[in-house]
C-alpha cells in the first residue's frame, strides 16, 4: 500500500485593511500596533456641525460618513474586495462648544484661550466596515486638563505652527503635551486613533491584528 503524505493546507490569504485617512498620526499609531494598511482612502467631507449637534454625535457621524465614502470608492476596485476599512474622526469640545480644526492663527489663539486653565473633552469615533458589509462605530471619550497658559507660552505655540489642522488647535503628541496637567481616558484617542478600542474592534471582527508581530514580511 502506498502512503501519500498529507498535503499541507494552503494558508488563507491575509485580509486587507484600508485606512480612510491620510493622517500621518493615525498611520504612526497603527504602525506602533504592528499594523500597516494596504491602502489609504481619505474622504473629503464637509465637517461643519449640524445645528445643535453634540460633539459626540458629530464625531460618530463623521467617522461613519468617512467609512461610507471610502467604501463607495473601494467598491469600484476589485482588488479591494473583502477588505476591512477603518475610519476615524476626532472632535475637541468645551462643554457643548465644538472647537475647530484650526487653519488660521486667530482660530488657534481662540482655542488656546478657551482651553487655558480648564478641562475639555476629546471625542474620537472609530468606524470599521467589515467584509460582511456591516459598519461598527465606537466612541472614545477622554478628559484633558490644561495648565493656565501664560501669554508668552501661547504666543510661542502659535508661532510654532504646530496647531495647524489640529482639532482644538493643538497636538498633544507635540509641544502642547507640556500643557497637559491631567488626562483621564485614552492618550492615543487624543492623538487621533484609540489603539485599545481599535485593536479590540478589529480582533472582534476577525482581523489578524498580531500577524505583523510574528511575520513582518
Q: Which residues carry out catalysis?
A: 89
Start-to-end CA span in the chain (Å): 41
Three-class SS string for 1-45? CCCCCCCCCCCCCCCCEEECCCCHHHHHHHHHCCCCCCEECCCCC
Residue 57: partners with Cβ closer than 8 Å, 6 or more residues away: none
127-139 burial: b if 16+ Cβ within 10 Å, else e? bbbbeeeebebbb
**3-state DSSP assignment of residue 217:** coil
Rounded to whole angstroms, how far apart are CA atoms 171 and 174? 5
Amino acid at each position: 500500500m502506498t502512503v501519500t503524505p498529507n498535503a499541507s493546507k494552503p494558508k488563507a490569504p491575509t485580509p486587507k485593511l484600508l485606512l480612510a485617512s491620510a493622517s500621518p498620526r493615525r498611520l504612526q499609531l497603527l504602525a506602533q500596533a504592528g499594523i500597516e494598511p494596504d491602502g489609504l482612502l481619505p474622504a473629503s467631507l464637509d465637517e461643519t456641525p449640524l445645528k445643535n449637534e453634540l460633539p459626540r454625535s458629530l464625531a460618530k457621524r463623521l467617522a461613519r460618513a468617512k467609512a461610507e465614502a471610502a467604501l463607495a470608492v473601494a467598491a469600484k476596485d476589485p482588488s479591494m474586495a473583502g477588505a476591512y476599512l477603518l475610519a476615524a474622526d476626532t472632535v475637541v469640545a468645551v462643554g457643548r462648544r465644538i472647537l475647530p480644526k484650526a487653519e488660521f492663527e486667530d482660530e488657534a489663539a481662540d482655542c488656546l484661550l478657551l482651553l487655558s486653565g480648564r478641562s475639555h473633552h476629546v471625542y474620537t469615533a472609530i468606524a470599521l466596515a467589515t467584509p460582511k458589509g456591516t459598519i461598527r462605530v465606537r466612541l472614545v471619550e477622554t478628559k484633558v486638563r490644561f495648565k493656565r497658559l501664560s501669554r508668552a507660552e501661547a504666543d510661542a505655540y502659535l508661532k510654532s505652527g504646530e496647531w495647524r489642522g489640529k482639532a482644538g488647535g493643538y497636538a498633544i503628541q507635540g509641544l502642547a503635551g507640556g500643557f497637559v496637567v491631567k488626562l483621564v481616558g485614552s492618550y492615543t484617542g487624543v492623538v487621533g486613533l484609540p489603539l485599545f478600542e481599535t485593536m479590540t474592534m478589529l480582533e472582534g471582527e476577525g482581523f489578524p491584528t498580531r500577524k505583523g508581530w510574528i511575520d513582518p514580511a
